[in-house]
Copies of this chain bind each other. A is one copy, B any other.
């Protein structure tokens, strides 16, 4: 069938709360804009663990396996400690990224002028910020072997991990960056630590090689990761597409969150390889985590999750007009003063998670 299959997995902490709002948004697009999709909700985390002994029960695994797109909420927090480490690991988000080979993690950083009052950066620094970090998500030090903890002959303990990249791993994520840049302002900045790490030397050489062979029309620059962290704060407007490895991307994208106004606003897409039918498995999730301190209070910001739905509309469903429509509705809601606690100025009225969902649906 032509129906696109979407698995909706709220997960833990504030995940289910924010995902409930993006679910409403998905329903709206299915009903009002005839977006051809079937939704399947599934549980993840402590609740299914208590019922089945698995954080990722069979039903959820099946829903995710068969889905074209997964809308993911969040995982982690104190709930984690109630689940034994082995059970936790068996169904971990890192394991899912790996299982579905979701190697290209896209994190758009777009400043919302409406939020500049509550942002730490000056309005003139935020103004016009619009870039995408592409983080390699299935290799690097997150997955490198050998790894572990050992006891040394003198009784000390030693922890060790392996950072590593092969040329194919570098090439495919760099390709995603160059291709995306061509649809934007045609600039790629590759970030590494080639003055210290051999892994980064190979990274940089392979990016240069691919650029020369296939993308010499795209402007390519390189930054060391320490300098990149500074430049993101100093002048975030300079970037269009930034591509980097797994751990550097993890750090830089949180650093960049402040260049957008708030972490609670940031969506992400994690894309797998294109299969022979031209399809590409994808997982969409807000960049924020499970935020255990505010879970259950109904005050979390659902916009990171709702903007992830816009990425789903654009990338999996190939509905750019609908994606634009949703992104504009979010801006309209913000411009009309809708604020959850995390983005509210002192003294301003604070909407609940559901009320922010209402505000976006009202603007659609």
Contact = CB atoms under 8 A, between A and B. Distances in A.
From DSSP, what is the main secondary structure of chain A's interface residues?
helix
B141 A156 contact: no
A247 interface: yes
Interface in A190-226: 193, 195-203, 206, 225-226
A227 interface: yes
Report which residue of A152, A160, A166, A167 has the largest number of chain B beta carbons within 10 angstroms of its beta carbon. Answer: A160
A157 interface: yes
Given A120-B121, A162-B161, A233-B233, A226 B251 contact: yes
B149 A201 contact: yes
A1 interface: no
Contact of A163 (B76, B149, B163, B235): B163
Contacts of A160: 144, 162-164, 198-199
Given A163-B163, A258-B234, A225 B251 contact: yes
A156 B149 contact: no
A156 to B, nearest CB: 5
A162 B164 CA distance: 9
Contact of A255 (B141, B203, B229, B250): B229
Contact of A167 (B156, B196, B203): B156
A147 interface: yes
Identical chains bound together, number: 2
A35 to B, nearest CB: 33
B235 A198 contact: no
A164 B156 contact: no
A11 to B, nearest CB: 15
B234 A202 contact: no
A120 B60 CA distance: 45
A120 B196 contact: no
A124 to B, nearest CB: 9
Contacts of A159: 164-165, 197-203
A252 interface: yes
Contacts of A24: none
A59 B144 CA distance: 43
A166 B161 contact: no
Nearest to A152: B166
Contacts of A201: 149, 159
Given A226-B250, A233-B255, A156 B168 contact: yes
A156 B203 CA distance: 12
Nearest to A258: B233
Contacts of A263: 230
Given A157-B166, A230-B255, 10 more contacts: A120-B122, A120-B235, A141-B196, A152-B166, A159-B165, A161-B199, A229-B252, A248-B251, A251-B251, A255-B255
Interface of A: 76, 94, 120-122, 125, 141-142, 144, 147-149, 152, 156-168, 193, 195-203, 206, 225-227, 229-230, 232-235, 247-248, 250-255, 257-258, 263
